[in-house]
Amino acid sequence: MKSIVVFCGSSEGVNPVYATKGYEVGVAFSKQDIQLVYGGAKIGVMGKVAQGVLDNGGKVIGVIPIFLRKKEVVHEGLTELIVTQNMHERKLKMHGLSDGIVMLPGGFGTLEEFFEMLTWSQLGLHQYPIGILNTNGFYDSLLKMMHDMVKEGFVKKEYINTIFVDDDIDSLLGKMENYIPLPTPKWINKEQL
């Protein structure tokens, strides 16, 4: 993996561990020479991840829709900032620039972006490894829900097995590196969305 898109909160959360671990993700990326692709803001856990990469000489591409440029308080020190017309273009762009996906703690926006990429994977639109950094057990209840979906017959077991979970970023990246993609029934491209 040379470039990973990270989805995480535009807030820092109440426990400082989320920001601290976010920064550590950035440090790990720069050490492993992985480019960060993210939402382009300097606030929240997102801002901490970007700062962790930049402080250690790594590369960061921010992708932000024009209407969020002010609201999300753009990070001015990025390697590159791409401004898109809307959210859809943003997600497509982020996807096109990455070869792996990681979710850190966040809110509705984080979940929306993550699940869209996950469903693209199910549809065979990409074969990127997908990871969840489960800092402080934040995603325990979501993971339980996802396993309940398998148990109740709404998600195939092979799909949930493609998601890697860890509370340590180096260990998570190691698991993702060894990912062997599922054979997809049909390769369709994003133009068909």
Least Å distance between CB 56 and ligand AMP?
22
Choice from 84, 98, 110, 135 touching ligand AMP (CB under 6 A): 110
Least Å distance between CB 138 and ligand AMP?
12
Write out the binding residues for ligand AMP, residues 47-86 only, by CB under 6 A. 68, 72
Piece in contact with ligand AMP (CB under 6 A), picked from 27-35, 77-85, 106-114, 121-129: 106-114
Choice from 13, 26, 39, 62 touching ligand AMP (CB under 6 A): 39
- Angle, alpha carbons 67-71-73 (nearest 5°): 115
Identify the CA nearest to 138 among candidates 42, 11, 3, 1: 11
> Taking a C-beta distance cutoff of 8 angstroms, is the pair 121, 130 a contact?
yes
Residue least distant from ligand AMP (Cβ): 109
Helices 169-177 and 17-31: crossing angle in degrees, nearest 10, is: 50
Instruction: State yes or no: residue 108 binds ligand AMP (CB under 6 A).
Output: yes
Instruction: State yes or no: residue 113 binds ligand AMP (CB under 6 A).
Output: yes
Instruction: State yes or no: residue 131 binds ligand AMP (CB under 6 A).
Output: no
> Could you give the dihedral angle defined by the CA atoms of residues 143, 146, 150 and 154, in that order, rounded to the nearest 10 degrees?
180
Choice from 89, 112, 167, 168 touching ligand AMP (CB under 6 A): 112
Question: Closest CB to ligand AMP among 22 and 106?
Answer: 106
Distances (CA, A) of 69 to 62, 63, 153: 11, 10, 41
- Measured CA to CA, the distance from residue 70 to residue 112 in angstroms comes to 21
CB neighbours of residue 159 within 10 Å: 17
Binding site for ligand AMP (CB under 6 A): 9-11, 39, 68, 72, 87, 106-110, 112-113
